[in-house]
Structure 1
């Protein structure tokens, strides 16, 4: 045990003895043979949170709710300089997010956002059937979501909020200072900090065993689900993303990752880095457990949650079978079996869908102007998903709504 490392979190006593890596992170021989020293470099990120956000949330919780909300909203809308006598944690946090990296190219980010939104329903399918199952398959990474059973029961709402986060990030200028995507990204970051705070305060989170909740390693892994992993999933279904646009997408989420609190040393800068990171996570993690299976099941069966009438339930069940079939194709037989996917005849639809997408690729190459029409169609499709899923209840992304349930887990976290 080491006691000379920096303080991990405001709710872990200063000088507390903490391991360099979680206790489960041992005997990673097979992963080390494949990834070498990267395995040793990766482990400590499982014990790191997001100090600027953690410090800010600690201060926000000491203020009156109205005062905290007013100061936060003003800083998001007008900048920290407009806030009268802000606490030190406010100043440090907003100075960090106001730093623009030298590599940032706003035109690339706009092109990357348009490329993602152009995927429309197919992009939503890949997110639900490939990106998120890969994330939930990690047993310790999924613990903040599954420690409270309520989140498993709110899969459709959580997926819709994730879609809104994605769309606002991908709109032109979505991550510029004061834009809606920028504000949502910061609010989600503070929600994650609140989750860390509440779990650690309850003293029921075994950080020595599981690592810091919502830690740097899985923040970075989650970030690449929207870039490198999304691109890979689209490719598996025959959808072609031109090489230039692939890099545009990665740079969009690279900057989004920095705003989300991902350490720059682990925030993927290229498509290859993103894929290597997700492969490394799956190489070092333990096999999916019952919590992982419960979370993925809730995700796949979210359409049943929204169905009301018998006719709607019949349609929803067919959609669920389709989602399981496509997800089996995307994640592979081994992981699908470990996650207890049922076998449905819909798994054979993936080659058909791949052929249709390849024909669409050919059409786009022959008729370049069709890309603008596909962008408008894709954006409208994403917005319909969000409108139907939210059902008139706005997604607030309020860090104070991140509460801990009776089992010690957060009852709200996107």
Structure 2
């Protein structure tokens, strides 16, 4: 078990303001223009946390003004020109030519280059060390827990509409894996770092996808609100930070309390780069978990889109780790599905139509991970080999060479009609 690390100063979470704060009706009235799909869930969520529930549903109709403006200004460029422009701005130094670069892009990158005063680089290093020590467990928790939970919400609808389900699931796993790795490698989130650039690129992918969905009659704004809304980016951030830490603990990870808080601290900074409004952004592990719980309550029950995307994720996991033979793929997919069921709970797993099995897997994984650490402490050479194998598996999962240097964006609503991105 790693020793406790002194924790840096925490920034208190800013209070969430209701639409009519100070008015007795603030906790009883429904927010204006709430999308109809959220009405029932909001009623249940506001009984537990009126302010957070109100803030969440209010942001289901909000996009990302800065990134959306960039997409509008890049609209006349070809995919190759977009790649060249973004690479020039995100990778070039101060002396790089900014000729013909839209002001919206320059302003967005300039804003992203301002590291918040509360961001603690020492805590970021603590998070990096803990992540690298537990990387295999974190990635397993990400795939089997957090991503599946995210797809149980209306987040899944935008992915299902855009099509190529297996490809979309693999892309989602690859991008999330690479994002996570670069985010927690030392220096990755410094302005100009690999994690910083990947986060800004992902933000623009969200904005482009939002633009394509908004222009389609397949997305019902009155019912679902804004596609890839600020609320959904917030929910994903909470799932990939505080909620992820709970799944990691269940699988036998050895994050200390301070390391868990450091992990969420880095994701809080990533949330700023993703364009999550500061007024709703979580500040620590507890508030991230609370945000996920209340946001999930506001969401409508899982529908066919969630079932399709969640099952695509668990069935694509073997492909990600290089298992191609059908019998082995099916066997591993069954294991991943069972792990997911145990992490997310039977109620949600049943709604996703995951099969029920008598044999539990998570307790065995937890024991194996803990036993591995005991053996490593007793046999340093074994520990060194374990560390090397874990790091190589991490690099393989992230597949840096495939996506790392591309700044292209999707060009069509349906992915099969889009140019490569």
TM-score by length of 2: 0.83
Aligned mates of 2:177, 2:420 — CA distance in 1 = 16
1:209 has 2:223 as partner: yes
1:327 has 2:340 as partner: yes
Matches within 5 A, 1:25-174: 25-27=38-40, 28-63=42-77, 65-78=79-92, 82=96, 83-84=98-99, 86-138=101-153, 140-174=154-188
Counterparts in 2 of 1:265 and 1:81: CA distance versus 1, 3 Å? farther
Per the TM alignment, residue 254 of structure 1 is displaced from its structure 2 partner at its CA by: 0.9
Per the TM alignment, residue 402 of structure 1 is displaced from its structure 2 partner at its CA by: 5.1
Q: C-alpha offsets along residues 207-241 of structure 1, whole Å, 9 cap, x if unaligned? A: 12111111111101111222212210011123221
1:383 has 2:395 as partner: yes
Per the TM alignment, residue 363 of structure 1 is displaced from its structure 2 partner at its CA by: 6.4
Q: Does structure 1 retain, via aligned residues, the 8 Å contact 2:83–2:407?
A: no
1:234 has 2:228 as partner: no
Per the TM alignment, residue 152 of structure 1 is displaced from its structure 2 partner at its CA by: 4.0
Aligned mates of 2:383, 2:190 — CA distance in 1 = 24
Counterparts in 2 of 1:64 and 1:386: CA distance versus 1, 3 Å? closer
Q: Does structure 2 retain, via aligned residues, the 8 Å contact 1:142–1:292?
A: yes
Q: C-alpha offsets along residues 222-266 of structure 1, whole Å, 9 cap, x if unaligned? A: 112222122100111232211111111011111111111111122
Per the TM alignment, residue 32 of structure 1 is displaced from its structure 2 partner at its CA by: 1.8
Q: C-alpha offsets along residues 81-109 of structure 1, whole Å, 9 cap, x if unaligned? A: 74236433123212221221111122221
Q: Does structure 2 retain, via aligned residues, the 8 Å contact 1:148–1:410?
A: no
1:358 has 2:373 as partner: no
Q: Does structure 2 retain, via aligned residues, the 8 Å contact 1:120–1:381?
A: no
Q: Does structure 2 retain, via aligned residues, the 8 Å contact 1:191–1:397?
A: no
Per the TM alignment, residue 268 of structure 1 is displaced from its structure 2 partner at its CA by: 1.7
Instruction: Give structure 1 stretches of 5+ with no counterpart.
Output: 6-17
Per the TM alignment, residue 196 of structure 1 is displaced from its structure 2 partner at its CA by: 0.7
1:288 has 2:302 as partner: yes
1:341 has 2:360 as partner: no
Per the TM alignment, residue 111 of structure 1 is displaced from its structure 2 partner at its CA by: 2.2
Partner of 1:14: none
Aligned mates of 2:58, 2:233 — CA distance in 1 = 13
CA RMSD of aligned residues (A): 3.2
Counterparts in 2 of 1:198 and 1:412: CA distance versus 1, 3 Å? farther
Q: Does structure 2 retain, via aligned residues, the 8 Å contact 1:129–1:324?
A: yes
Aligned mates of 1:366, 1:283 — CA distance in 2 = 46
TM-score by length of 1: 0.84
Per the TM alignment, residue 70 of structure 1 is displaced from its structure 2 partner at its CA by: 3.2
1:404 has 2:409 as partner: no
Partner of 2:37: 24
Counterparts in 2 of 1:396 and 1:213: CA distance versus 1, 3 Å? farther
Instruction: Give structure 2 stretches of 5+ with no counterpart.
Output: 1-18, 20-30
**Comparing 67-76 and 329-338, the one that deviates more:** 67-76
Matches within 5 A, 1:154-303: 154-303=168-317
Q: Does structure 1 retain, via aligned residues, the 8 Å contact 2:212–2:412?
A: yes
Counterparts in 2 of 1:406 and 1:176: CA distance versus 1, 3 Å? closer
Counterparts in 2 of 1:304 and 1:77: CA distance versus 1, 3 Å? closer
**Comparing 160-169 and 78-87, the one that deviates more:** 78-87
Counterparts in 2 of 1:163 and 1:65: CA distance versus 1, 3 Å? closer
Partner of 1:318: 331
Aligned mates of 1:171, 1:213 — CA distance in 2 = 31
Aligned mates of 2:332, 2:279 — CA distance in 1 = 40
